[in-house]
Amino acid sequence: MNKEKIREYGLEIGADAVGFASIKDYRSKKSPDPESILPGVKSAVVMAYRENSGSLDSPNARISFASRMGCMELGNKNNYLMTRFIEKEGKTKAAPIPFSYPLNMGPEVMGLVGDFSLRHAAVAAGLGVFGRHNLVIHPVLGTRVVFTAILTELELASDEPVKDDLCDQCSICVEVCPGRALDEEGKTDAIKCLKNSQPYGIMSMMKYYSKFIGASPEEQKKLLKDPLLLNLYQAQFIGFYYECYKCMASCPACVK
């Protein structure tokens, strides 16, 4: 089974770009060894998906998230299909990497480090370079792109890396970040980012429930009608509900 056969299938099922990375070229300081996911892993197949510009640029956060949900659903479905395709056609093992959640929520990482870094895999697979915002900039799709990956025992050489510096260091992403999460170059302060991008996440939920438990019966009645509770409820069955895309939407790199 060769790369072009896999790439052709990935594009056929809906990916906007498909790249390949030898595990020897994948480097992520924080994520676990890929061997802990798939013993005998030799390479990663990385698929890119374009975010819809109309949704991303919408001032309505719910519309922006609708595009992200579509990417997540398509990406997870295609990960499963690609994994089946590789195992069937390649007569070998493959394992899909989650688009986002589930995450390791253990005390050592608390959901802040993925089992496999999709950004670093994308760079190793020739699908882009890192920008000032620490996101990957694709030569055509720009920053408006997300990635999924499949690990496999197949021996697949890495695609040619992107050699152009696609980030002009305009620092617009730094300036528009409401949480000041990008102030330190080369680092995204995850806690500052999450407070703005996931306002109805676990920290808000714990804070709300603690307030409810300590409230009087009359105050509890009022809290049950609080719109915050409804948003927390909605976020729990949606998954990770994002409300901020400013670093991605503001980046002028490769915008077509």
Residue found by looking up tokens 């896999």 in the block: 6
Confirm if 150 and 116 have CB atoms less than 8 A apart.
no
Would residue 214 count as lying in a domain?
A: yes
Would residue 93 count as lying in a domain?
A: yes
Residue found by looking up tokens 């050592």 in the block: 108
- Cα gap 34→23, rounded to integer Å: 8
Confidence of residue 189 (pLDDT cuts 50, 70, 90): very high
Examine the domain organization and report whether 10 and 113 are in the same domain.
yes
Task: Count the alpha carbons within 13 Å of 151 in the hemisphere toward its beta carbon.
Answer: 21
Number of domains in the chain: 2
Would residue 252 count as lying in a domain?
A: no
Confirm if 20 and 86 have CB atoms less than 8 A apart.
no
Residue found by looking up tokens 């680092």 in the block: 187
Q: What are the tens digits of pLDDT across the range 215-231?
A: 999 999 999 999 999 99
Examine the domain organization and report whether 104 and 208 are in the same domain.
no
Q: What are the tens digits of pLDDT across the range 131-175?
A: 999 999 999 999 999 999 999 999 999 999 999 999 999 999 999
Examine the domain organization and report whether 100 and 35 are in the same domain.
yes
Among 139, 167, 195, residue at a domain's last position? 167
Examine the domain organization and report whether 39 and 160 are in the same domain.
yes
Examine the domain organization and report whether 93 and 189 are in the same domain.
no
Q: Which domain holds residue 32?
A: 3-167
Q: Judging by DSSP bridges, how do beta strands 17-22 and 145-152 pair with one another? A: unpaired
- What pLDDT score was predicted for residue 105? 83
Best CA proximity match to 246, nearest among 202, 185, 204, 193: 193
Would residue 29 count as lying in a domain?
A: yes
Q: What are the tens digits of pLDDT across the range 79-126?
A: 999 999 999 999 999 999 988 888 888 888 878 888 999 999 999 999
In sequence order, the 6+-apart residues with CB closer than 8 A to the CB of 185 are: 132
Confirm if 128 and 139 have CB atoms less than 8 A apart.
yes
Q: What are the tens digits of pLDDT across the range 28-82?
A: 988 999 999 999 999 999 999 999 999 999 999 889 998 899 999 999 999 999 9
**Does pLDDT of 256 surpass 60?**
no
Would residue 211 count as lying in a domain?
A: yes
Confidence of residue 213 (pLDDT cuts 50, 70, 90): very high
Would residue 81 count as lying in a domain?
A: yes
Among 135, 167, 199, residue at a domain's last position? 167
- Cα gap 178→164, rounded to integer Å: 29
